[in-house]
Amino acid sequence: MSLILCIDTAQTEAGIYLGENGRMLDFSANSLQQDHASWIHVAIQDLFERQGKKLKDLSAVAVVEGPGSYTGLRVGMATAKGLCYALGIPLITENTLKAMAAGFLFQEKEFLAKISANTNANNFLLAPMIDARRMEVFTAVYNLNLDVELIPQPLVLSPNSYTEFLNEIKIFFFGSGSIKWKNICNHSNANFVATSMSGDALVSLCNEKFLKNEFAILTYSEPVYLKEFYIHHK
């Protein structure tokens, strides 16, 4: 049996999700990015009170590690690590872009089923995109099994972005960064879908890691900023 608190403060809207055995029990959300730090601890307390649970009942804490808002990532990681240290339980981390891709698959089940009925479901890729200001995004490309086709990275968009994939296969683009990409992309294999982070999908992903004992090293876990790494190594 697993009871996992999942924390996501990576983007504009933050969410905390309480999952039991891979199923979401309850959640709270905050849409004011500047208030994530003051909101999160009260929200966690309220969430557990609503469900009649205690923090000591937790099996693990999971956190969306990045990329995303620098401040938001620090808030989420600090909160998750603090709970893990205090309770003596493991930490689970998940990449923001993979969580977005999993959310797309969860929310678009009927849409994908209709498409798959007419063609091979393997003929599609998923490209979550997070706005990183100007013409830059954080992005990755996944297949429908959530295997990585393009590792998470910062990308300065141009009309030729993703060409190596788009010339061969259809891609679904989504997330905050896809809006400006849509304005310059004219490729027939590019598909744009409005979707959002799914707490159900995040809970499921983190529970899978829990069952496989795929835990982060608590002492050394840090937010995955991507852009800082890119800047120092260009």
pLDDT computed for residue 227 by the predictor: 77
pLDDT computed for residue 68 by the predictor: 95
Percentage of residues of the chain with pLDDT beyond 70? 91
pLDDT band (50, 70, 90) for residue 192: very high
- pLDDT digit string, tens, across residues 41-83: 999 999 999 999 999 999 999 999 999 999 999 999 999 999 9
pLDDT computed for residue 141 by the predictor: 98
Q: Where in the chain is the domain with CATH 3.30.420.40?
A: 3-95+197-232
pLDDT computed for residue 120 by the predictor: 57
- pLDDT digit string, tens, across residues 124-173: 999 999 999 899 999 999 999 999 999 999 999 999 999 999 999 999 99
- Output 227 or 225, whichever has higher pLDDT: 225
pLDDT computed for residue 58 by the predictor: 98
pLDDT band (50, 70, 90) for residue 119: low
CATH number 3.30.160 given to 109-192: no
Residue range 3-95+197-232, CATH number: 3.30.420.40
pLDDT computed for residue 108 by the predictor: 82
pLDDT band (50, 70, 90) for residue 118: low
Query: What gap in Å lies between CA 173 and CA 75, rounded to an integer?
Result: 28
Q: Return phi, psi of residue 117, to 5°.
A: -70, -25
pLDDT band (50, 70, 90) for residue 196: confident
Question: 3-class SS at 55?
Answer: helix
Q: What is the DSSP string of 76-132?
A: HHHHHHHHHHHHT--EEEEEHHHHHHHHHHHHTHHHHHHHHHHS-GGGEEEEEEEE-
pLDDT computed for residue 231 by the predictor: 41
Percentage of residues of the chain with pLDDT beyond 90? 84
pLDDT computed for residue 114 by the predictor: 62
Coarse DSSP helix, strand, coil percentages of the chain, rounded to the nearest 5 percent: 40, 30, 30
> Does this model's pTM top 0.85?
yes
